[in-house]
Structure 1
Amino acid sequence: MSIQVFGLPVSRGVAIGRAVLVASSRVDVAHYFIEPAQVPEEIARLRRARDEVAEELVALKQEVPEDAHAELVALLDVHLMLLHDEMLADATKQWILERHYNAEWAMSAQLEVLARQFDDMEDDYLRERKADLEQVVERVLRALMRTSRRTRGEEPTAPIAPRDFGGDDQLILVANDIAPADMLQFKRSVFTGFVTDVGGRTSHTAIVARSMDIPAVVGAREASRIVRQDDWVIIDGDAGVMIVNPSAIVLEEYRFRQRQIDLERARLHRLRNTPAVTLDGERVELLANIELPADAAAALEAGAVGVGLFRSEFLFMNRQGNLPGEEEQFLSYKAAVEALKGLPVTIRTVDIGADKPLDRMSNHELRHEHTLNPALGLRAIRWSLAEPDMFAQQLRALLRASAFGKVRVLIPMVAHLSEVAQIRAGLEAAKQQLQQRGQAFSDVELGAMIEIPAAALMIRSLLPHFDFFSIGTNDLIQYTLAIDRADEAVAHLYDPWHPAVLRLIEHTITEATAAGKSVSVCGEMAGDPAFTEVLLAMGLRSFSMHPAQISAIKQRVLRADTKHFAALLSNAIAADDPQVAWRSAAGQR
């Protein structure tokens, strides 16, 4: 039977494929693909973990006091039986053999299959054994973690092509949520779409899906419970709908739409070498947002004239607490700078916190993991200033990379002049340390992210201290409207068209431009065609977005008359509903 599941559309397009479920677990589970040659060792890891758990359970049985209730021993026997049951043990091996999942992922995938079978049982006693199964699997997962490659200092191998293990069918990832560290692993993997139960339009999963230019739906509530492993699913990224087990007619309709979308993308791609100039002669700078040095190639291919945002925090994730040192960071920044071949690269200092925490094994994460509201806690520049040694390492690495090209340093979440003084002092100290070492560096421009309402309102006080500004609309909207942008329960209130948001953006652009300081928008609004003309009307001439979005925005720029749109702006912002007012005045649908 075909089922439709509705969520939030966060990345446009259509994806069709087999569902791959990532089950939720009380234990953090690493998800990655292994090479075919590693299959025997991965099965051996699974066997060793199972044997270790069996020994634990046998030891527990022997330690049970003689006067203990007989049901306690019987419960341990049930756990031993479940541990060796072929539906768990043998079936888990099949996930490794057929899909090339790592052992932890294979175990959690099989738990998902069996848990649903238990839920469907009519007998109350048998249905309640699901909890025992979950406890057994949790023990095995913990045993696997103790013997994992990561704890021995090895990294998982790069994902492999889908045909190596999944036949010709495309794969779509379905999960309750996807941690940023897992998204980093999946970024260049085999998945052609994402669906998550939770999340908002600017949640991390949504942002990465857009950067990968693949369809995604978030906030789909029960998606991971409704879908079963290997179900055929369609993601309609335009409507925010997932269709489970579609009929043949619906499947063919969406395949036709896929072909139309591919043709449109090919047409837009031909604009990549066309200068971005409006109809009235205004030159517009279209920059790329990247997360890893390897993304630089995609930025150039898309026609970007530089990198407006290099999110350096991705170098700090998925590290099991071993943060990158100065040399490793320097080599990464240098690689990105050299790949841009003389074009400017704006590198944001680490923005850890909120929806991008460090992995669980990090001492920094453990220290703050119980923060009541991470979005308002020790994140971004606050975290950097609280970790002066780490911050000094990053500043030195950034400065060293500037010897190989044009580097601009961007500071996230600036809100206080006292922070500005510390940042400036830290940058000067880093320069002096490099001079003492005899290591080369060039002058770098220093910029501030405007993503807190306080920073937008006090922009005149910040102007003398920074060379450029970048408006992070994702957080600016979140903090202005008091909306957790990753919470699907309030996602409908996350409104980029809110008059307060538009006024803060316009105020920042006007003040920075009047002072002769460059200003860009690097949040999701920059890559959304619905806002291109509005931002141009505000005076914005620098947009930074995911490479996949550049061609569509360039098309809007080429067709825009900034003087015409500027005349419409004030009335639209003053209206009760700026979105309706703007579209009506601009003749947009």
Structure 2
Amino acid sequence: MSVQVFGLPVSRGVAIGRAVLVASSRVDVAHYFVDAAQLPAEIARLKQARDIVSQELGALKDSVGGDAPAELAALLDVHLMLLHDDTLAAATRHWIVERRYNAEWALSAQLEVLARQFDEMEDEYLRERKADLEQVVERLLRALAAKGAPLSPVVPVAARDFAGEDPLILVAGDISPADMLHFRGSVFTGFVTDVGGRNSHTAIVARSLDIPAVVGARDASRLIRQDDWIIVDGDSGVVVVAPSPIVLEEYRFRQRQSHLERERLSRLRAKPAITLDGLKVELLANIESPDDCVAALAAGAEGVGLFRSEFLFMNRAGALPDEDEQFDAYSRVVRAMNGLPVTIRTVDVGADKPLDRISAAELRHEHILNPALGLRAIRWSLADPDMFDVQLRAIFRASAFGPVRLMIPMLSRASEIHATLEAVHRVRSRLDQEGVARGELQVGAMIEVPAAALSMPLFLKYFDFVSIGTNDLIQYTLAIDRADESVAHLYDPWHPVVLKLVLDTIRLATAAGKPVSVCGEMAGDLEFTELLLGFGLRSFSMHPTQLPAVKQKILRTDTQRLQALVAAAVDPESTQAFIQPLARQTRSA
């Protein structure tokens, strides 16, 4: 029977394929593909973990005294039986061999299958044995974690030989941004999560990978089974489970139409972004890794407006990248862009982008009650000056290969500005003393905290340029957690106060002769293109996949006709329901 699950659309397009479920667990589980040559070693890891748990359970059983309840020994017997049952052991090996899952992922996948079978049993006693199975799997996962992962755990497998002919779609309770990057170039054509907001970092990464995605679908991982055929409608936020042939054909037609539209837009690659009234607009790319430069140049980007350096720091078991590793990544980007400007943002961790050594669960529950307001971004960098100096040295060294701009996230006060610029000066001086080659860095600030937007004269005094991070600016202005689907309806980029902060920032920077851009999601949203042009913005930075459509919108816009839209947008009594129809009317005029 076909079922529809509703969530939030975060990455446009349609994906059709078989569901791959990533089950949640009380133990953090890594999910990655293993190469064919690693299969025997991965199966050996699983067997070793099973032997360890078997010894643990046997020792526990031997330690049970004669005065202990008989049920306790019987329970341990049940756990031992489940541990060695082929429905767990052999089936888990099947996931490793056929799908190339790592051992932890294979265990989680098989637990999901068996848990559903237990839930469907009529006998209450048998249904309750699901808890025993979960405890056994948890023991296995802990044993695997204790023994460690193989030497080369993360293998970005692009081959489809283990996936068969069918495309695959990832379904999970949640997916971290770092895990999303591990699926780059893999077999997944879309993803669905139970939780998440429209502008969470996971959603942003999905858009950058050009993967149709729906988040905040709440019951998706419960209603969808392993290998179910599903459709992910990233335009409307609908997930269709077990679609009928008619529905399937309709969505396949939409896929073909979308492909043709992308091919048509790609012809604009070499065309300058100039409005109908002759205004030149700069279109830059947001990237997460050096490999993204290929897509940026293919889309016609005139430079990199945001390189998110934090992804070099994630999924590393807490070990930070050293200076040479960072230098290699930054210099690869600079060289790949071949003389075009590259803006590197210093590490922005915290909130929904924790480091491995500080788990997301710890940030949310155990140590920091509100990570979005805690030690993140520049606050974290200034709190760890050795780490910050290493990153600054690597960026300075990379600037010897081309124009580099250094961008500092989440500044909010004069003391942070002075401390940051002092660190930059200190590192520059040391490099010069050591005779290390470097270029000149332009230093800029992200405007993503209301305090920064309201202190523009101070920021313009000290920085060479500014870039508006609309995602966090909206979050902090409206006091809305952008990763929380329960308040996603209150995350409103059309709020007049938000737009007034954006407008004032653009006008003040322009009047001071300082470059200003928008690098948040608003820059790549077609609904805001004319409005931002009307505000006076002449530099947009977005995911490469969004660039052709935005360029087309710019080519069709006459900024002389946008004044009514601008006035309505910042009117405190205006509403989204009024502004958006006015925007459409302005576009058709």
Same fold by TM (over 0.5)?
yes
Give the corresponding residue for 2:343: 346
Matched residue type, 2:102: N
- Distance in 2 (alpha carbons) for counterparts of 1:33 and 1:377: 34
Q: 187, 193, 198: which is aligned to 1:196?
A: 193
Q: 207, 214, 233: which is aligned to 1:236?
A: 233
Q: Deviations over 1:354-404 (max 9, x none)?
A: 010001478998899620000000000000000010001111111011001
- Distance in 1 (alpha carbons) for counterparts of 2:105 and 2:390: 35
SS at match of 1:489: helix
Q: Please say if residues 360 and 366 of structure 1, whose CA atoms lie closer than 8 Å, have aligned partners that are also in contact.
A: no
- The alpha carbon displacement at 1:187 in A equals 2.3
Matched residue type, 1:92: T
Give the corresponding residue for 2:396: 399
Give the corresponding residue for 2:504: 507
- The alpha carbon displacement at 1:60 in A equals 1.2
Give the corresponding residue for 1:187: 184
Percentage of pairs with the same residue: 69
SS at match of 2:321: coil
- Closer, same or farther: CA 505–13 of 1 in aligned 2, 3 Å: same
Give the corresponding residue for 1:414: 411
SS at match of 2:278: coil
Give the corresponding residue for 2:73: 73
Q: Please say if residues 351 and 363 of structure 2, whose CA atoms lie closer than 8 Å, have aligned partners that are also in contact.
A: no
Which ranges of structure 2 fall in alignment gaps of 5 or more residues? Answer: none
- Distance in 2 (alpha carbons) for counterparts of 1:148 and 1:116: 29
Q: 538, 546, 551: which is aligned to 1:554?
A: 551
Give the corresponding residue for 1:317: 314
- The alpha carbon displacement at 1:567 in A equals 4.5
SS at match of 1:187: coil
Q: Please say if residues 307 and 346 of structure 1, whose CA atoms lie closer than 8 Å, have aligned partners that are also in contact.
A: yes
The answer to which of 443-452 and 123-132 deviates more is 123-132
Give the corresponding residue for 1:159: 157
Is 1:48 aligned to residue 48 of structure 2?
yes
SS at match of 1:532: helix
Q: Please say if residues 187 and 212 of structure 1, whose CA atoms lie closer than 8 Å, have aligned partners that are also in contact.
A: yes
SS at match of 1:281: coil
Give the corresponding residue for 1:478: 475
Which ranges of structure 1 fall in alignment gaps of 5 or more residues? Answer: none
* TM alignment of 1:506-525, pairs within 5 A: 506-525=503-522
* TM alignment of 1:293-442, pairs within 5 A: 293-360=290-357, 370-442=367-439
Give the corresponding residue for 2:33: 33
- Distance in 1 (alpha carbons) for counterparts of 2:138 and 2:305: 43
- Distance in 2 (alpha carbons) for counterparts of 1:585 and 1:361: 46
Give the corresponding residue for 1:59: 59
- The alpha carbon displacement at 1:24 in A equals 0.5
Q: Superposition RMSD on alpha carbons, in Å?
A: 1.7
Q: Deviations over 1:152-173 (max 9, x none)?
A: 5x342222322x1111111000
Q: 264, 268, 293: which is aligned to 2:265?
A: 268
SS at match of 1:409: strand
Is 1:488 aligned to residue 485 of structure 2?
yes
Q: Please say if residues 402 and 443 of structure 1, whose CA atoms lie closer than 8 Å, have aligned partners that are also in contact.
A: yes
- Distance in 1 (alpha carbons) for counterparts of 2:357 and 2:85: 31
Q: Please say if residues 268 and 548 of structure 2, whose CA atoms lie closer than 8 Å, have aligned partners that are also in contact.
A: yes
- Distance in 2 (alpha carbons) for counterparts of 1:318 and 1:395: 21
Q: Deviations over 1:210-269 (max 9, x none)?
A: 111121101001000000000000011111000000000110111011000100010001
SS at match of 2:433: helix
- The alpha carbon displacement at 1:573 in A equals 2.3
Q: Please say if residues 33 and 160 of structure 1, whose CA atoms lie closer than 8 Å, have aligned partners that are also in contact.
A: no
Matched residue type, 2:40: P
SS at match of 2:225: coil
SS at match of 1:270: helix
- Closer, same or farther: CA 363–182 of 1 in aligned 2, 3 Å: closer
Give the corresponding residue for 2:85: 85
* TM alignment of 1:558-569, pairs within 5 A: 558-569=555-566
- The alpha carbon displacement at 1:584 in A equals 3.4
- Closer, same or farther: CA 25–364 of 1 in aligned 2, 3 Å: closer
Q: 524, 527, 531: which is aligned to 2:528?
A: 531
- Distance in 2 (alpha carbons) for counterparts of 1:454 and 1:324: 32
* TM alignment of 1:88-167, pairs within 5 A: 88-149=88-149, 152=151, 154-162=152-160, 164-167=161-164
The answer to which of 310-319 and 90-99 deviates more is 90-99
Q: 562, 567, 576: which is aligned to 2:573?
A: 576
Q: 449, 454, 459: which is aligned to 1:452?
A: 449
Matched residue type, 1:157: V
Q: Please say if residues 575 and 581 of structure 1, whose CA atoms lie closer than 8 Å, have aligned partners that are also in contact.
A: no
- Distance in 1 (alpha carbons) for counterparts of 2:430 and 2:546: 40
Q: Please say if residues 466 and 517 of structure 2, whose CA atoms lie closer than 8 Å, have aligned partners that are also in contact.
A: yes
Is 1:10 aligned to residue 21 of structure 2?
no
TM-score using structure 1 length: 0.97
- Distance in 2 (alpha carbons) for counterparts of 1:65 and 1:283: 83
- The alpha carbon displacement at 1:540 in A equals 0.4
- Distance in 1 (alpha carbons) for counterparts of 2:8 and 2:492: 13
- Distance in 2 (alpha carbons) for counterparts of 1:315 and 1:119: 41
SS at match of 1:449: strand
- The alpha carbon displacement at 1:579 in A equals 3.1
Moved beyond 6 Å, runs of 4+: 361-368
- Distance in 1 (alpha carbons) for counterparts of 2:456 and 2:280: 25
Matched residue type, 2:86: E
- The alpha carbon displacement at 1:577 in A equals 3.5
- Distance in 1 (alpha carbons) for counterparts of 2:26 and 2:365: 19
- Distance in 1 (alpha carbons) for counterparts of 2:365 and 2:70: 43
- Distance in 2 (alpha carbons) for counterparts of 1:437 and 1:145: 43
Q: Please say if residues 358 and 364 of structure 1, whose CA atoms lie closer than 8 Å, have aligned partners that are also in contact.
A: no
Q: Please say if residues 206 and 212 of structure 2, whose CA atoms lie closer than 8 Å, have aligned partners that are also in contact.
A: yes
SS at match of 2:431: helix
- The alpha carbon displacement at 1:143 in A equals 1.1
Matched residue type, 1:407: V
Q: Please say if residues 156 and 184 of structure 2, whose CA atoms lie closer than 8 Å, have aligned partners that are also in contact.
A: no
SS at match of 1:220: coil
